[in-house]
Structure formats: C-alpha cells, structure tokens
A and B are shown apart, each in its own frame.
Chain A
C-alpha cells in the first residue's frame, strides 16, 4: 500500500482541542476576524473532558440568593491553599456570569425553578448555592452540543477531527504552527499558523482509574514543554473522592455520584457503617460539605486503617432518602441504575478516589500567552487558576472564560502579522517522526501505557512518599527506554499502536514532570499529600516551574503573587 501523502494546511489561528475551551477560543477568534482552524485527535466536540461533565458549573449569578463574583473569587482562592493565581481566578469569577448567560442565550437549557430562576446547587467549598447545571447529569453533553452548534454557524471556522498533533513548530522564536498526522489515513500533516492555542485539557489518562476520556493524556503539556514553554504546579492532580467503584456498571460516568450528593446529600460510610469525615475535620451528617482534597484523604485513610468497603473504598448510601425523592431528583437515571442492578433505596454503592482534573498546567500571562510568543493556552491546559485544589464547578467556567480571552488575544496578534513565521527547517524533525518508517519495536505500546497508569496510581496518586516517587521516576525512565525514539511501523490508516506510541511519548514526559515536582515539594498541601511530610509548610508557599532544557526536565521555584490588590 502506498504511503499517504503529506497534507499542508494554513490558518491565522490554530486551535488544538475541541472541548469547551477550544470551541470557545475558536468562536472568539472567529468573531475577532481571524481565519480559524480547530483540530482534535478525536472527533470534534466528542472527546475530552467537557462532554463528560455531569453537573456543576460554578458562577456568581445570584439567581438562588444574592451573590457577587468576589465571593466566588474568595472561595476559589481559599480552595487553592495559597497557590491560586489571583489574576486568573479573578478573570474566571468576574467573567463567568457573562459566559453562562451567553450559553443560556444559545439555548443550553440550564435547569430552572418553576418561577423561571436558574437553579444553583450548593457545592462543597462554596459559601452559597452557585452551581448551575443541566438535568439529568447532562451538563457536559449540553455545553458541548451548544458550543458545537455555534462553531458550525461560523463559516470561517474550519474543523478537522481525527487529527493527532505530535509537535508544535517554533520559528524565529515564535509559535509557527504544528505537525501531526491524520489518524484515519496516517498521512503526515503540517499546519502553518500565525498563532496557536493549546486547549487539549488535562492528564487524567496517566492514572489507571480516571474520570475522563482516553485522549486526556497530557499531550498539550508535552507539546508546550517541547516548544519551550514552562509548566507550573504540575504536582497538583485532583482526585475526585467518590468515583464509582462497585458494583460494576456501564453507560454511566464514574463521577455520577457528584450530582446525587448535590441534590440528595447522601451518607459517606466506612465498613462500620459510620460517617467518618468528622474524624478528619468536616461534619457532613447527610450533607455534601467535604472538599475534594479532604474527602479523598479521609476515604484513603479509612481504607488504610482497615475500615474500607470490600472493593477498597467507602460506601455511599442513599437508603435514608425516600424513593419518591430519588425519582423526582433523577428520573430516568434511576431506571438506568436499575438496569445495572442498582437499587439505591435498598443498597449502598462503593466509591473511591479517581483521577479527575489537573490544577497544574501551562504557565500563561494575563492574555493567556505562554513564554513562547504566539503560543496560547486555554481551559484545563492552563496552570494556576485553581492552586493546589480546584473548587467544584470551576472547570467548565474556566474553559468558557479562558477560551474566550485566549481566542481574542490570539486573533488580535494574528491580525498584526503578515504570515506565519513557519520555517521548513524547524518542522523537519517533527515531520520525519510522523512521515517515515520507524523502528520495529518489540514492545506493546498499549501495555506500556497500562504499566504507566499502574505505577502512577500506586506511587504518584493522592498519597506520595520520597521512596515511592523515586521508584516511579525510575520506572518512567525504564518505560521511556522501552518506548524508543521512533514510532513503530509505517504511516497507515488508524494505526492504534502508532497512536499509542505518540501518546506514550507525551504521557511519559508529563508523568515525569508530575513526579519530579511532587518529589521536590517536601510538604503536604491540597491535592499533594506527602506521607513523609504530612504538614503544610509556609516555606513551600511557592510555585514550581518545570522547563525542558536540552532534553531534560528542570525544576525552579517561583514566588506566589500578592493577592491583596487582586482581591480588592
């Protein structure tokens, strides 16, 4: 079979990723007059994390009770345990209401009271009801569908799915586009662009149990690192405390119990049938109050003490909730549970922490530009807005708001340029990797991915030690050696082994960044818990920056910005 020919594309603004951040960025850049190309390694608007969102979007609308974005800001700062970037958090909170009203104008269908007010749920860590949602468990699909509808209306937004970006191209010190391959044919692809926005989401695929799609392997972080842009706060991986564990169920996202707890409270119980978060400082008593970092800690400590559920988590019980209330709150979902053999009126389910979100990410300035000129980031790919622990509901809000600002800034900069700075020499190495025959590797890249997920869950999960992190770093190096420097085989249609090779190349780079930053931070803070350094330390109220320097990751510390003026 003949090798597929190279495809050359060009755009003013290249957007990588088509979740809420990517689509918002594309819409904003298009509105600012740019010729936009939005690409996704999966199908447009289907992969990523947005479509998986079950319920909450935090925003100070004041529909449920009076609110102001500064209250939301205060909660976001507090949740981040001293590391939240005040400028990013302020943007998120101040412009959230506009973004949410805009979505409403585009008919997303936020749940409403009979009198027409938008419903806002009270999520842990918020000082008042603030989280809008779409029933039932449909927030993500509704947000995705709504943005997709808008993207499709804009003639100038070109969309290409099944296109895996493998490297960014930097020419004359500026982002000049990207290189990748068309998954369905294997054809190498070169995209020249005046500016580039990375909106690829987080890194939950690094962990065995996770709540996002298969394509959340941290690729955007690795792309940015290799292009010369630093990352920040990489040690802070959020685990969602009550991911579904048992019995096995299908057709439901593992974070589905979050909305159940918002609406119905529920009781988180240990093996003895006792609510245990009191022992860790938060009395829930049938309500949903414990923040994600604390609940994760409490559940895993109970398991460690031998008081976990049989499958190794905690019980979540709604047996005290009358059946009519269950049905009123979740209607068709109750039937879907019944098909899986789950009757909440009569049985408890088992839950356990599951990798959910990444607080760390690409370091950006106020306009979402990275340290590489012309390279922007948006959404979960951005580090800093949520410090050491993200508040429930901030992820979709930041995707919408950051996407919009990044899109506007990238379009404005593109407008000032005649053409991309793309130089063929700067793309040569990346093109060679996707276009030429690689090695005849004996390793199964899918098995290597699974091995990485196991070691990350074991040694770089919610609890960490120097010993475990050293072991993880050694194994990551070993997997890197097994991966080799060239992808297996030749370009051909939907070559999953080759796709895994490129994914694993990114995943190993990002896993090392997380483990190295976690190894250096000798304290416990938010989502980063060191068993050998259990206390939070004032000396560690600093960010860690990761750079790729001559092929090696280098760590540095960066002071936290003063919060006083931003908070006023």
Chain B
C-alpha cells in the first residue's frame, strides 16, 4: 500500500538550542516533501512552520529549504521511503522551524523602501 517516510526536521527559533523532531508520514509514490509537511500539520503537529503558497506548481518559489543538506524546493523534491533531513536555508535569517527571511529587505515590515 502506501510507503512511509521519516522526516527529521530542524525546529525552533533563532538562538534556541539545536533541536530535531522526527515525524513518520505515510505517502503515495510521486508525492512531494511539501505534501508530507502539509500532512504532518494536519495529522500531527499544526505548529510546524514552513513557507509555501502555490502547493504544487513550483511557481511561488517560497518553499526553498535544505533537503538532506542540499538546497531544494519542497514542492518538487519527492518523498522517499527512508529518513529525510529537512532544515532551514543556512544563508538566510531564521524565522522559525523551516522558515527563513527570504523577502527582499525593502518589502519587510519595519524597513523603509530602498528606491
């Protein structure tokens, strides 16, 4: 029937001690890492934070993160029946869990327009 992936996810706020939570998630072949993350929120932990808008089309480009140490879009990285490690982008300011600050500086609240 369905496969299972074990997602090991880096959690927490900036400055907190490093913490990894493991989630087992059932999936069908062909599903994406983002599908798995959305399922975890519905079934296990609604508090898990990650960014996305377009779900499936790789159009919004918001779901970029580290998948097994490599930069990838969660919506086009496939879930696999093994342990997969997910972490926030290392070169961006951490917001929480898998979310980093990726907006242009002048489009963030509190920053004046640059142009």
Contacts and interface: CB of A to CB of B under 8 A. Distances in A.
Interface residues of A, number: 53
A250 B103 contact: no
A500 B46 contact: yes
Q: Which of B59, B96, B103, B110 has the most CB of A within 10 A?
A: B59
A44 interface: yes
B91 interface: no
A294 interface: no
Contacts, number: 134
B48 interface: yes
Contacts of A254: 56-57
Interface stretch (A100-108, A154-162, A373-381, A531-539): A154-162
Interface string B26-43: 001111100000100111
B115 interface: yes
B53 A46 contact: yes
B42 to A, nearest CB: 5
Contact of B108 (A161, A212, A492): A161
Contacts of B104: 44
Interface residues on B, range: 35 or more
A214 B38 CA distance: 11
Given A161-B103, A446-B41, A251 B75 contact: yes
A47 B42 contact: no
Given A52-B57, A213-B60, A161 B49 contact: no
B107 A497 contact: no
B46 A494 contact: no
A303 interface: no
Contact of A450 (B42, B53, B58, B96): B42
Taking chain B's interface residues, is the majority helix, strand, or loop, or is none over half, making it mixed? loop
A258 B22 CA distance: 40
A184 B108 contact: yes
A248 B53 contact: no
A468 interface: no
Given A141-B59, A160-B109, A248 B76 contact: no
Given A248-B30, A251-B75, A215 B53 contact: yes
B61 interface: yes
Contacts of B61: 46
25 contacts: A7-B110, A42-B62, A43-B102, A44-B104, A44-B107, A46-B61, A47-B54, A52-B59, A155-B113, A155-B115, A157-B113, A161-B103, A162-B103, A214-B54, A250-B32, A250-B56, A250-B75, A250-B76, A253-B59, A493-B13, A494-B96, A496-B41, A496-B48, A496-B49, A500-B46
List of 4 A-B pairs having minimum Cβ-Cβ separation, nearest first: A248-B30, A47-B53, A253-B57, A213-B53
Given A159-B113, A492-B96, 19 more contacts: A42-B60, A46-B62, A47-B62, A52-B59, A140-B59, A141-B59, A157-B113, A160-B109, A163-B109, A184-B95, A214-B54, A250-B56, A250-B58, A250-B76, A251-B57, A252-B57, A446-B38, A494-B96, A496-B47
Interface of A: 1, 7, 42-44, 46-48, 51-52, 140-141, 152-153, 155, 157-163, 182, 184-185, 187, 189, 212-215, 247-254, 340, 444-447, 449-450, 492-497, 500
